[in-house]
Amino acid sequence: MTEKLRIVITDHGFDDIERERGVIEQAGFLLEVAECRTAQDVISCAQAADALLVQWAPVTAEVLAASPRCKLVVRYGIGFDNIDIAAANDAGVAVCNVPDYCIDEVADHTIAMVLSLSRQLHQVDARVRSGTWRIVPDRRLPAARDMTFGTLGFGRVARAVMDRAAAFGFARIAYDPAGVAAPGVESVTLSRLLRESDVISLHAPLTAETRHVINDEALAGMKRDSILVNTGRGGLVDLDALADSLRTGHLGGAGLDVYEEEPLPITHRIRDAPNAILTSHVAWYSEQSVPRLQVMAAEEVVRGLQGETLLNPVGLVREVGR
């Protein structure tokens, strides 16, 4: 009898994995569930795995070397910073993410932050609560139709954000090394994006080139009173530099849902920076985004092990076994 292929969920934060189990066992594969936190934990549970489903556990070169049967790693979610893509390429292991399970949720969260910051809702709310009644805001407040909305990156989420921004009348520009193609959105250089945008929303992957792409120099090059929103990857922003820019009043506001270190340290200066909205990596969430993520991740694993074309490979290896 042919041995069944084995899929290991290294770690997860869900209430249960019955959705994955249904998809995987219906396809005739075995499913095992672990609670890995370290690379050594993954090594101990993945040596006989043909594929890994991973949420936060690290998949390093050492993990891949110790898992000779593994030909596919699927990450629950969009980012894949915890997976060594270069090592996976060298080992012939395909890596996939699930980039389309929460596009609307993140886009909605982004626009909610932009509107709150641009209309200065939190500042005016605090003023009213303190007993001050004025019918004009404390800072410059242009209408959306007179503002330019820029995105750094132009993937699925950025395009959804831009569709929403269009409804409010923003002029729209974007910078992406891979190019920008959408009606009504002008492709610009990074320097022009920084210089001309009243709002900049970050939607780039985190790489060696994009880490701290928003730093002291970039912030200094942004418009005075402009707004920065990051619902992408925490490492895109030098958080200390951002705190400084908010404190000096150069930047008009910032909305952050992701951070280079999570949870956000209780002592970090960004917590006390003025005109900042801080949320706890919740932009992805809705009542349906969780089950959608679980099912889509399991379906990608099954697709790969059945020899079908992978929908969302992120490395050089595009098919399992090739």
Q: Which of 159, 164, 172, 233 is catalytic?
A: 233
- 63: tokens are 């993990």
Establish whether 145 is a catalytic residue. Answer: no
DSSP run (H or E) holding 7: strand 6-9
Amino acid letter, residue 234: G
Distance CA 168, CA 14 (A): 36
Residue with structure tokens 């790693």?
A: 73
* Strands 276-278 vs 6-9: parallel, antiparallel or unpaired: unpaired
Cis peptide before 263, with omega less than 30 degrees from 0? Answer: yes
Structure tokens at 213: 């792409």
The CA-based angle 160-288-108, given to 5 degrees, is 30
The yes-or-no answer on residue 35 being catalytic is: no
Is 176 in contact with 162 (CB distance < 8 Å)?
no
Pick the catalytic residue: 18, 32, 35, 262? 262
Is there a contact between 53 and 76 (Cβ–Cβ < 8 Å)?
A: yes
Cα(158)–Cα(174) distance, integer angstroms: 9
Q: Of these residues, 186, 281, 292, 319, which one is catalytic? A: 281
State the amino acid at position 302 in one-letter form: V
Residue 163 Cα to chain centre, angstroms: 18
Residue (of 6, 100, 27, 52) closest to 293 by Cα position: 100
In one letter, which amino acid is 59? V
Does residue 140 carry a catalytic annotation?
no
Annotated catalytic residues are 233, 262, 281
